[in-house]
Structure 1
Amino acid sequence: MASTTNQDLRDPRSLLVLARDARMVADDAERSVFIAAAQWALAHPAADEWDSACVPGTERTLAIAGQGAPLVAEFCIDEFAAAIGLSSDAGHYYVGDALELAARLPRCWRRVEAGEVAVWRARKIAQATRLLSPEAVALVDQRLASFAHSIGGRGIEQTVRAAEAEADPEVLRARREAADDKRHVTIYSRHVDFHGRVDIEGALDLADALDLEDALAAVAAQLKDLGCTESLDARRAMALGELARRDHALTFESAGMGEPVRSKRTLHLYVHISHAPGQNPFGTAARVENTRTALDLDTLRSWCTDPDTQLVVRPVLDMAEQRSSESYEIPTLLREQVILRDVTCVFPHCTRPARSADIDHIVPWDEGGSTSTDNLAALCRHHHRIKTHHGWTYEPLEPGAGPPGSYRWTSPHGQHYLRTPTGTTTA
């Protein structure tokens, strides 16, 4: 790769050469990681399922690639994922894609190993074939291998469907009959913008979509009649909220001076505001726990003062207080304190919410560990099992060595990671 110190970066040609060479280096590095992922999976075959059946919570066999690919030991994924900076879930898919190619698409895999197919493109092929039978995936491998370096998503999809129709006509027919399962309405409540807005997408039957269109148009018109001055698009968005709070359009029952009665909403938000230096990464904004986003205070204030909103207020906890219990069971306020401090599962790179996680005794109760603020941490069920049964250990940092919610982890192979409220780094 050409050195930037010997190039005039104001020269367009030099910039193109730099970008091209950097891309080649990055592709080579990514290919090495991807090949290592496949070898890691092959080096950790599934153990006898008898042990996991007899001891609940222990390591299970894991199918991370399609039919006919080797099964792997469940907990091996987490250590590889942590080593390359991925969450366990992302690592599951990454290693699974590598194993799918190595075990079921040998022609495409050889081209990846030779540097002829970019990893990102090979992964698209692997993700499209994972549910195929061995017969169908062999056809895909045969037909795609020669132009896997240039095929796009549509070409992959068409090749996969054609191979499936040829090798598994009954499966394809069943999938067609089950197409209704693709209907959905997705509300991206964890992707809230600074003003409290979220995106929605969906796929509906045409008849349902037309009914929804009519309902939105009707309620948007009623909002305008009620004096709403927002744009039509904004009123249609508001109409969805009105429909969500009742199973019919706005009613016009009179109350008092003849004003229309609108439906009330109940707002459940876990909001945290801190003025301590370094304790609030969102500055003077609020952190909304259940959406894991920042929200400007004016928006929050408008919701809380809205007469049509029923507000649920929860007690304020002193996060600096040391709480404890004489029993193994964790009291409600102590559990809440741990959840608020850790925010997510504290395993390296994990982002699963602490509120849905287990609360773990760092030093086990039966080994003398206390039920107290400094000996409890949030671990999702999967990572709780790994800590208990697979040799991962962790400890909180000493007071002053890092912010509350900071832990030093050691993997079974001796790799060290530092998890803090701002993320995970190699220790």
Structure 2
Amino acid sequence: MSTRAIDDTRADDRVDFALARAEVASSQLNRLAAERMSAVVSVIREARRHPDTYVVVRDEATARDISFAVEAAIADLAVRLSLSESTVGALVRRGELVTTRALPVWNLFREGEISPENVACVADVLDSLPENEMCDARVADRAAELAGLVPSRFRERMRAFRDRVHPESQTERHERARAARRTWIEHGDDGMAWLGIHLPSTDAEAAWQRIDGIARQLATCTDESRSLDQIRADAVADILTGRNDPATEPRVTVGVLVPVLTLLGEGDQPATLEGRIPIDPETARRLAVKAPSFHRILTHPVSSAVLDVDRTSYRPPADLARVLALRDVTCRHPGCGRPAKRCDIDHTVDWAKGGTTSVRNLAHLSRRHHTLKHRTRWTVEQRPDGVIRWTSPTGFVADADPPPF
């Protein structure tokens, strides 16, 4: 046998070994995901059984005590696992649904034979169906049959199966789903973002046809150099912002944090939109000069520090609130991304206990985490360097996320 033939044989063996490793690792990841879900569900069940771990219980635990205990436990898990609280909540919900209503799927998950994505899909299907033993069994059996499909195909098949077994009419379901319509924004790199809209299919299709028609008409212009995708995006932006119609342009207030040397054109340090979204220096200079609805805020060119402001009143005045919003950007609980402008301003040391209304003792907290601080065993400390330190009821210590700039 030639040297090349030997090398080819060894290459085949190496490929087979690597494929086997990948398959084993995939199965192990599935089992580990099942173990994590099981552990998370166990923590929440213990919080329900023994809420005094997370909250102060007087006499007998009330439903409100148990609810606060569960919220505190979810926050505890979130900071320990470096996950968002919504992700932990979804793990709990899905874990409880699958373990109680689709045991065959749960057993496959523990054995590593179905992916976390497909398990999540099963849970979502169960969550959308009324609890019924016969219906649950049919869902579990169908999911077990399809367990090996890739997530996109699995979702398609389970969605079609859900429509067949759902006891409610599609009209009733559509009306309920329509009530959940919403919009959202997700910021990306290089000053770009995605704007999403969840709305009825008929409206979405009509909107798409209009946008596409506008784009295709503009594309026929002799001086047009943009692609169709670019024209569609620009058309949507023009319609929503009223860019070409001052009479319909909405008035919005957006904070722009601009380093002073950048503003003067003597530096290229990036500016930030709303304290967390990087934008290029040229855009920042244009906004600071021409847009009256933008707050023009200058920072120190080296430290970006903002001077402390102290007050003797309980409620922070407007200038102090502006400083705090600039500093905090979001809720100061680890992992929480709720913008500061939609948060409460909380005294770290309670005003009633001698806490001052100052930068050193104030921080933005979402209503959820504001309640968590005051109604559970979570404790908060604001250190001299401005770091907010949280300690969970079970003793885990985590600092608030650092600012993005």
Same-fold status (TM-score > 0.5) = yes
One-letter amino acid of the structure 2 residue matched with residue 419 of structure 1: A
Q: Give the alignment partner of residue 392 of structure 1, picking from 378, 389, 392.
A: 378
Residue number in structure 2 paired with 1:191 = 187
Give the whole-Å Cα distance in 2 for the aligned partners of 1:22 and 1:146. 21
Tell me the distance in 1 between the aligned counterparts of 2:310 and 2:97: 48
Superposed CA RMSD in Å reads 4.2
Q: Secondary structure in 1 aligned to 2:47?
A: coil
d(CA) in 2 for partners of 1:105, 1:304: 57
Name the TM-score, length of structure 2 as normaliser. Answer: 0.74
Distance in 1 between residues matched to 2:244 and 2:354, nearest whole Å:
60
- On the 8 A contact 1:265/1:310 being kept in 2, the answer is no
Whole-Å separation in 1 of the counterparts to 2:293 and 2:94: 46
Q: Measured at CA, do residues 293 and 205 of structure 1 come closer, stay the same or move farther in structure 2, by a change above 3 Å?
A: same
Give the one of 275, 294, 301 matched to 1:312: 294
Change beyond 3 A, Cα 1:160–1:216: closer
Q: Is the 8 A contact 1:345 1:351 kept in 2?
A: yes
- List per-residue Cα deviations over 1:112-161 (Å, max 9, x = no partner): 33444333321211012112111165244453354253251112212222
Q: Deviations over 1:194-245 (max 9, x none)?
A: 1445455565665885577457756986899898765555444433344345
The answer for the alignment partner of 1:294 in structure 2 is 278
Matched residue SS, 2:41: helix
Letter of the 1:239 counterpart: A
CA distance 1:144–1:219, change in 2 (3 Å): closer
Report what 2:393 is aligned to. 412
Structure 1 distance, partners of 2:141, 2:366, is 42
1:4 corresponds to: none
Taking the aligned partners of 2:192 and 2:356, their CA distance within structure 1 comes to 40
For 1:243, the equivalent position in structure 2 comes to 239
Structure-2 change in CA distance of 1:117 and 1:195 (3 Å): closer
Q: Is the 8 A contact 1:242 1:250 kept in 2?
A: yes
Q: In the alignment, which residue of structure 2 is the partner of 1:73?
A: 70
> Distance between the aligned counterparts of 2:85 and 2:198, measured in 1?
28
The AA in structure 2 aligned to 1:32 is: E
CA contact 1:38–1:102 (8 Å) conserved in 2: no
Aligned 8 A contact 1:108 1:141 in 2: no
Assess if the C-alpha contact under 8 Å between 2:31 and 2:110 holds in 1: no
Match of 1:138 in 2: 136
By how many angstroms is 1:31 displaced?
1.9
Q: Larger relative contact order (C-alpha < 8 A, sep ≥ 6)?
A: 2
- Tell me how far apart the structure 1 counterparts of residues 85 and 25 of structure 2 sit (CA, whole Å): 29
The runs of 5 or more residues in structure 2 that have no matched partner are 1-10, 52-56, 262-267
Aligned residues: 371
1:154 equivalent in structure 2:
156
Task: Sort the Cα spacing of 1:183 and 1:316 in 2 relative to 1 into closer, same or farther, 3 A.
Answer: same
What residue identity is the alignment partner of 2:258?
I
**Alignment partner of 1:117: what SS?**
coil
Q: Distance in 2 between matches of 1:228 and 1:263?
A: 26
Contact 2:31 2:111 in 1 (8 A): no
Is the CA contact 2:41–2:96 (under 8 Å) kept in the aligned structure 1? Answer: yes
AA aligned to 2:236 is L
Cα pair 1:107 1:141 within 8 Å, conserved? no
Aligned to 1:41: 44
Which runs of structure 2 are paired with 1:197-208 in the superposition (5 Å)?
198-200=194-196, 206=202
Q: Secondary structure of the residue that 1:330 maps to in structure 2?
A: coil
Q: Does 1:344 align with 2:330?
A: yes
Aligned to 2:344: 358
| Cα distance in structure 2, aligned partners of 1:313 and 1:59 | 43
Displacement of 1:262: 9.4
Letter of the 2:282 counterpart: D
Q: What is aligned with 2:3? A: none
SS at match of 1:124: helix
The letter for the 1-side match of 2:325 is I
The within-5 A match list for 1:366-385 is 366-385=352-371
Contact 1:101 1:126 in 2 (8 A): yes
